[in-house]
């Protein structure tokens, strides 16, 4: 892997744009064995393979991406000592989350808190599946932090920007525990809200950057965000993405949307964190927009420190599916970002 500073990593001479979200996940899902569904094609209004299709009566049907992604119940993992529990963030919206706590022998101080937003193209994924549980169990154990993964509501049933709004509301809910009397005992007891990190992969990285900017723009109190981990992020380009446009009818899905192009966000300099780690993968079709985001931060008026980490010969979110040497290097880099100043 290579770690770059603002000065030594220029953009490639020809900056290729990412594919649409649906095209991107078609490539990502090459190992899926999903079967065709039985409804007549004439009833389908929109088909965004391999993620979902929408029938004329409004029903949404999701395709199965990977057989290995399964729901995981909360509880004690005897192999790691990590304990997890599920909590309701908002009874009104039904947004929930999973909290992970490492094995603790005689707690004499609270632990940093890692706030996590999962990937999945804004329309798939969950804090309660094998992918998130594997990633966060590793991060919790190695970085010795408490983690909470937010189950924001998914498009298209809940059109964007609802996922963004849910995610920021969850951070505000977390901030409500700053005096130790919030509604969730584990956060009151174990989490140091003066040491908060935010992490997201893919669409979750996009949400993470949005949440950090909103926290600064709103002057959110109760949490001190020390760092943000932007892992293989999805950002927009100059070409229309029909699936994103369907999920977010209010967006142009072009580079004038600040959620997809942070460079046009007037609040970017207010991003409420001290440092950012941007992780990209050489063979990821989203790699160049991740580098562009890194360059945007370098050239902005935001006063924090930004770092770029590139994994050679790897694709999108490879560390979630592979346990090779480069995955180990990426995890170590992420852990070091949290544990070292």
- Here the tokens at position 77 are 């993992």
What is the SS3 assignment for 14-75? CCCCCCCHHHHHHHHCCCCCCCCCCCCHHHEEEEECCCEEEECCCCEEECCCCCCCCECCCC
Q: Which of 178, 157, 154, 175 is nearest to 166 (CA)?
A: 154
Tokens 């979902």 correspond to: 52
- Asked if residue 235 lies in contact with residue 290, where contact means CB atoms within 8 angstroms, the answer is yes
Q: Which of 110, 46, 105 is nearest to 243 (CA)?
A: 46
Please identify which of the residues 96, 202, 208, 251 carries the catalytic annotation. Answer: 202
Q: Which of 227, 234, 233 is nearest to 334 (CA)?
A: 227
- Mark whether 202 is an active-site residue: yes
- Here the tokens at position 338 are 């949290």
Sheet of 44-48, strand order: 44-48, 52-55, 60-62
Please identify which of the residues 96, 208, 284, 319 carries the catalytic annotation. Answer: 284
Please identify which of the residues 116, 118, 316, 319 carries the catalytic annotation. Answer: 316
Rounded to whole angstroms, the Cα distance separating 47 from 43 reads 11
Residue 251 CB coordination number (10 Å): 18
- Mark whether 118 is an active-site residue: no
Just list the catalytic residues: 202, 284, 316
């Amino acid at each position: 892997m290579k770690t770059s500073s603002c000065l030594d990593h220029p953009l490639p001479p020809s900056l290729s744009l990412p594919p649409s979200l649906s095209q991107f996940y078609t490539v990502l899902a090459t190992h899926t064995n999903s079967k065709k569904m039985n409804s007549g094609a004439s009833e389908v209004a929109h088909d965004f393979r391999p993620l979902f299709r929408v029938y004329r009566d409004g029903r949404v049907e999701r395709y199965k991406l990977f057989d290995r992604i399964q729901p995981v119940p909360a509880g004690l993992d005897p192999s790691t000592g990590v304990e997890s529990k599920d909590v309701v963030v908002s009874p009104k919206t039904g947004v929930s989350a999973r909290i992970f706590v490492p094995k603790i022998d005689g707690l004499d101080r609270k632990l940093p808190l890692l706030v996590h937003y999962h990937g999945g193209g804004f329309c798939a994924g969950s804090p309660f599946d094998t992918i998130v549980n594997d990633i966060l169990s590793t991060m919790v154990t190695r970085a010795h932090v408490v983690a909470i993964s937010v189950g924001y509501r998914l498009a298209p049933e809940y059109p964007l920007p609802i996922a963004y709004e849910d995610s920021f509301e969850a951070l505000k809910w977390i901030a409500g525990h700053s005096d130790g009397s919030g509604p969730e005992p584990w956060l009151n007891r174990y989490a140091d809200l003066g040491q908060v990190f935010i992490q997201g992969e893919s669409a979750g990285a996009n949400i993470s950057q949005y949440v950090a900017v909103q926290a600064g723009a709103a002057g959110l109190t109760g949490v001190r965000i020390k760092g943000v981990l932007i892992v293989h992020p999805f950002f927009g380009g100059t070409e229309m993405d029909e699936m994103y446009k369907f999920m977010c009818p209010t967006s142009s899905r072009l580079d004038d949307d600040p959620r997809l192009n942070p460079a046009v966000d007037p609040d970017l300099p207010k991003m409420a964190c001290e440092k950012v780690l941007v992780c990209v993968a050489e063979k990821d079709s989203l790699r160049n927009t991740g580098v562009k985001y890194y360059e945007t931060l370098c050239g902005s008026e935001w006063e924090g420190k930004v770092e770029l980490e590139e994994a050679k010969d790897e694709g999108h979110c490879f560390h979630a599916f592979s346990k090779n040497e480069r995955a180990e290097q990426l995890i170590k880099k992420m852990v070091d970002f949290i544990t070292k100043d």
